[in-house]
Structure 1
């Protein structure tokens, strides 16, 4: 394309019929100057229309051409754009920077054992009152706090906000719709909406409404269920988490 442009410009320069007759009647020097200026202007117009650079002759897309391509949805491919991951990548184990040490495995496991042992002892004390501290959601909370302490679900705000809010939603759904699939469905949907709206995403809390609706031994707690046993148990688990983190950071092996 660059050779064709230069050939066209030379043809214009050689063909004096393209210059107006009034300009050809002037002296040869001035006529030559006007001829050169005319050809250069003509070449500049052609270069701008075709999108060529006048300085080095390389063909580059002008800003107008890029704008036209963007308007018509034509986007130049780039090697920096990552290809979409295959569907089955989510089914593969994630990459870890290094294998965990023995202490990184032992201390969280020991903390989970201590948590369930303490909750079990509290159950023996509270058994005459018909109250149990060992509930399934606290097992999931232990896994979040001890195995992934830096995850968003392990943040104290997320945990307590979601635990209290979802437990209260479960009590409210049971009082309005009674036991059954409708109360469970509405309570779970409302709990997820509550966590998204407040920005307090804590997955173990989503099981609290279903636990209350299906657990007849918890119905007498009414709205106290929002604080006990879930929120109280989470406070105990937070203390155990601090002990585990201290042991992991100071006693490595």
Structure 2
């Protein structure tokens, strides 16, 4: 029984501190604004701008704008790189479980190697294998949507004075 207790034992660290209420509020509002902009643009320009992983990107961008994962370089390059890998593997090997697994692993490794890690982008190969889009998926929604997210974040965070965003551009 003691061996099972050791398996589930945590390090004993306390929970992180709760962010200030205004950060929580602005994080939620930032997510609303960013997804609303993408959704409205998506509906009005007849080009796909929504990607499931963009919701998770908003968590990082508006909840933790100072984090390296939230910087424009990581958001744009992470999404584009991961989608590119997903499209390459889908095209070369088809929608096989092992192809998806290799694409996801390679996307992670490449983001780490290029210092463009953006955790939500790690789901892009999975999204690509589920949807099986054409190569234009790389431009719409991946690149264009990621750039719009960064622009919305930059404007919103400047106006809200929540953060000196970004810490770096590229």
What is the TM-score normalised by the length of structure 2?
0.80
Residue 92 of structure 1, CA deviation: 4.3
Q: Which residue of 2 aligns with 1:207?
A: 123
Q: Which residue of 1 aligns with 2:11?
A: 89
RMSD: 2.3
TM alignment of 1:86-125, pairs within 5 A = 87-89=9-11, 92-94=14-16, 96=17, 100-101=20-21, 103-125=22-44
Q: Which residue of 2 aligns with 1:142?
A: 58
CA distance in 2 between partners of 1:90 and 1:177 (Å)? 45
CA distance in 1 between partners of 2:23 and 2:145 (Å)? 24
Q: Which residue of 2 aligns with 1:168?
A: 84
CA distance in 1 between partners of 2:12 and 2:139 (Å)? 37
CA distance in 1 between partners of 2:142 and 2:161 (Å)? 28
CA distance in 2 between partners of 1:105 and 1:140 (Å)? 15
Residue 91 of structure 1, CA deviation: 7.1
CA distance in 2 between partners of 1:156 and 1:90 (Å)? 34
Segments of structure 2 that go 5 or more residues without pairing to the other structure are: 1-8, 163-170
Q: What are the superposed Cα offsets for residues 205-228 of structure 1, whole Å, 9 maximum, x if unpaired?
A: 111111111104xx23x1x32232
Tell me: higher relative CO, structure 1 or 2? Use CA pairs within 8 A at least 6 residues apart.
2
Indicate how the Cα distance of structure 1 residues 90 and 215 shifts in structure 2: closer, same or farther if over 3 A, else same: farther
CA distance in 1 between partners of 2:19 and 2:121 (Å)? 30
Segments of structure 1 that go 5 or more residues without pairing to the other structure are: 1-86
In the alignment, which of 169, 172, 181 is matched to residue 97 of structure 2?
181
Paired positions, count = 155
In the alignment, which of 138, 142, 158 is matched to residue 230 of structure 1?
142
Residue 182 of structure 1, CA deviation: 1.6
CA distance in 2 between partners of 1:189 and 1:182 (Å)? 10
Indicate how the Cα distance of structure 1 residues 168 and 99 shifts in structure 2: closer, same or farther if over 3 A, else same: closer
The 8 Å contact of residues 184 and 213 in structure 1, kept in 2 or not, is answered as yes
Residue 150 of structure 1 aligns to a residue in which SS? coil
Residue 166 of structure 1, CA deviation: 1.0
Residue 88 of structure 1 aligns to a residue in which SS? coil
Residue 100 of structure 1, CA deviation: 0.2
Q: Which residue of 1 aligns with 2:6?
A: none
